Amino acid sequence: MNLIIQNVVLVALDQQGFERLTLFKIPKRIIYAIEAVLDIALNSGLEPVRNESIAERQGIPKRYLEQTLQTLVKSRILVASRGPRGGYRLAKERRKIRISDIILSIVDTKDKESNFKSKLSNNIIKPLLNELNETCHKKLQKVTVEDIYNQIKKSTKKNKKENLDFVI
Going from the C-alpha of 150 to that of each of 25, 42, 94, 98, 164, the distances in angstroms are 26, 10, 10, 14, 21
Buried b / exposed e over 80-115, threshold 16 CB at 10 Å, is: beeeeeebbebeeebeebbbbbbbbbbbeeeeeeee
User: Is residue 166 a part of any domain in this protein?
Assistant: no
pLDDT of residue 145: 95
Task: Tell me the residue range of the domain where 32 lies.
Answer: 27-157
User: Is residue 64 a part of any domain in this protein?
Assistant: yes
Contact between 115 and 121 under an 8 Å Cβ cutoff? The reply is yes
Q: What total number of domains does the chain contain?
A: 1
Q: What predicted TM-score, i.e. pTM, was given to this entire model?
A: 0.77
Q: Which amino acid is at 90?
A: L
Residue 39 has pLDDT above 50, yes or no: yes
CATH number of the CATH domain containing 65 = 1.10.10.10
Q: Which amino acid is at 46?
A: L
**Using CA atoms, how far apart are residues 64 and 85, in angstroms rounded to an integer?**
21
User: Is residue 10 a part of any domain in this protein?
Assistant: no
Residue 155 has pLDDT above 90, yes or no: no
User: Is residue 165 a part of any domain in this protein?
Assistant: no
User: Is residue 2 a part of any domain in this protein?
Assistant: no
* Beta-carbon contacts of residue 151 (< 8 Å; ≥ 6 apart): none
Residue 6 has pLDDT above 70, yes or no: no
